[in-house]
Amino acid sequence: MFIDTHTHLFSDQFKEDVDEVIEKAISRGVKRFYLPNVDTNSVERMNYLADRYPDNCFPMIGLHPCSVKENFEEELKILKKELDSERTFFGIGEIGLDYHWDLTFKDQQKEALKVQIQWAKETKLPIILHTRESFDDTLEIVQSLNDENLSGIFHCFTGSVEEANKVFELENFYVGIGGVITFKNSGLDKIVAQLPMDKVLLETDSPYLAPTPYRGKRNESTYIPEIAAKVAEAQNLTLEMVAKTTSENALKLFG
């Protein structure tokens, strides 16, 4: 069995055929999907999928850094209400800092991240961290708030071994490895070769970042085995071992 720890199945790009997409993934052994929310607009569709596939789709709640604008406090208020509702969420995400697209709301991004880390500590849910050109700042905030109630994933990890080790020093943190490992010249396979497998999770981040040979097309959870195969090659393990270890890691983190 494989677990996709990060997939946006509620995205408009899956609107027409989400049932087929889910069934196809399940038929290839990808049986659990963790859904990181984006903002208040994505909650309804995410919850719909969680209700439709209670054994497969696991919703998480949070405000994505690219959705942090001048109204972020209002957004957070609505999402917090959702978190406090009857519904079960499996993580706080995705949250973090993104300095790639727009620096206008850099301070607000940091504020939103801190607030949501507090939610995670109160609920003891793992955080799903998005970092883009912002690893040091993100790490610094997480370090400053880290305690035994905090756990999480540095999602779509593409950093160095040194950066990975800083993540692992946080104790209850993992790195999510996605399609980038299959990209020619990404060098991520050489990094993953040096990571402890008990800290590695698999993810697609679909519909984005499809692995080779589907690069540029819509990504799907169905491609988790392609990512796992590359991890297996890097670590000199069998595909079965990678499936087993990464699934155990995910279940340990998400409970």
- Rounded to a whole number of angstroms, the minimum distance from the CB of residue 88 to Ni ion is 20
- Rounded to a whole number of angstroms, the minimum distance from the CB of residue 207 to Ni ion is 10
Residue placing its CB nearer to Ni ion in the complex, 4 or 205: 205
Task: Give the residue closest to Ni ion by C-beta.
Answer: 205
Strands of 2-4's sheet in order across: 2-4, 30-35, 57-59
Residue placing its CB nearer to Ni ion in the complex, 156 or 195: 156
Site string for Ni ion, 191-210 (x = CB under 5 A): --------------x-----
DSSP structure string for 151-209: -EEETT----HHHHHHHHHTSSEEEEE-GGGGSTT--HHHHHTTS-GGGEEE---BTSS
Residue 73 φ then ψ, to 5°: -65, -35
Site string for Ni ion, 155-194 (x = CB under 5 A): ----------------------------------------
User: Which residue, 133, 139, 87, is CA-closest to 113?
Assistant: 139
The owner of tokens 């196809």 is 24
Residue placing its CB nearer to Ni ion in the complex, 205 or 220: 205
- Rounded to a whole number of angstroms, the minimum distance from the CB of residue 129 to Ni ion is 10
Residue placing its CB nearer to Ni ion in the complex, 163 or 205: 205
- Rounded to a whole number of angstroms, the minimum distance from the CB of residue 255 to Ni ion is 21
Instruction: Work out the burial of residue 132: count CB atoms within 10 Å of its CB; fewer than 13 is exposed, 13-18 middle, 19 or more buried.
Output: middle
Q: Where does this chain bind Ni ion (CB under 5 A)?
A: 205
